[in-house]
Structure 1
């Protein structure tokens, strides 16, 4: 009885220690598993891997461009392409500068030089009339007055004299200088050309002034009016087209016809009022 009684407490202690050890191991194992579960494995998504591949290709493409193996990169994102184009543009701007510096002061230096030169330079106006002798100068002034009276509303008389003097100083014969200046004044827009000199004007439209001396019935519905215009130098036939929408003219009216087209009809000069023409009653 004593042996059996003495053995029972010993076995219970051993069983208790085993159970405690197993409980401790289970708690430790669960702690380890819990700790491992908290460490989440980070993996790249498919989109991230794709973008990484593209970026890697962009870097390689950039290197190929810089080494001259490729003209321009391809297969890059829009952001990468814009960044590359901006970089290339900056490189070209830097190479275009004289000092080839990122912090160029070229604009400031140029501005300073311009300000310094503007304070020193003076513009001298030379009158070509001063280079002529007294007799030639009087002849120039006479011819300038004659041209100004013949071709009205064109160049001023003083300007005509200057143009004649410039040609004479350049070595042109006097009479030829006068004729060349007359042609120039007649070709000036807005100048009133005498009727007998319409055919000598070097442009297809002229301004003339005169009195309506005669009107007759148009020969075609497309013609609104047809008649004769005269001044102290001659007479010219005029035609007013219906589509030009010009004002109605009457015999005896003194009018100024601006920007009328002229041409030869047979062997004589005639003018036509178009949509670009204008009629001014005097």
Structure 2
């Protein structure tokens, strides 16, 4: 037979007060400082009732669809914050995939464009052998004396031709010299070719030799007269140092008004022929620029 003796140390209330006396704070007179701030603690019944109210639909202050059923406000805030964070992570991941896709697409398009350009140049080589992308620079076939002369002339032409680099001009001249032209003929031919190339301001006196529909010119309006049709806004003559030509501004072009004696640059003017002479028309595709307008210092 076994028995268990359970002993416990019983401490009286006075002894407990005596033990806590060392922990109590005292004032200057030696009296114990008593904290008079009341401490409120929920009873078991209050805690149970709080849980019931939090989970019961009738006990919620806000029963809208935006509230999460069965969750306290604190729990709901944590859930909403977590959902927002997951949405941001998902958005960043999706944007990252899109950026990568754009870069890959750009690389593929650039590669395909380069391949098409090479293929086009190879087809063009059947007409112009210098268009072959596998052919070396023609200047490599020149003698040192010829190369020096070509470089000197290309530097001179580069000052007169806007938009053309010395290297591009030198390559064209090298092609002409290798094909058998003398240096002066190559200089004149390349200058005329590049001067009337697309995008260049063509001298008015060379309009007849341009082989395209639209051109850009620059000159001074020397004369204006009354249009013969209501469809025409203005008609007159424009000229530069190389020649002059008739220019017609159509009403539907909505072009700005031109004055006699005014300097104007016309981009995208339509080239026409009338009685064997070339003329220009300002259409809706044309743009007019007046370099001297707004120069208040003059």
Q: TM-score, normalised by structure 1?
A: 0.49
Larger Rg: 1
Question: Which structure dedicates a bigger proportion of its chain to helix?
Answer: 1
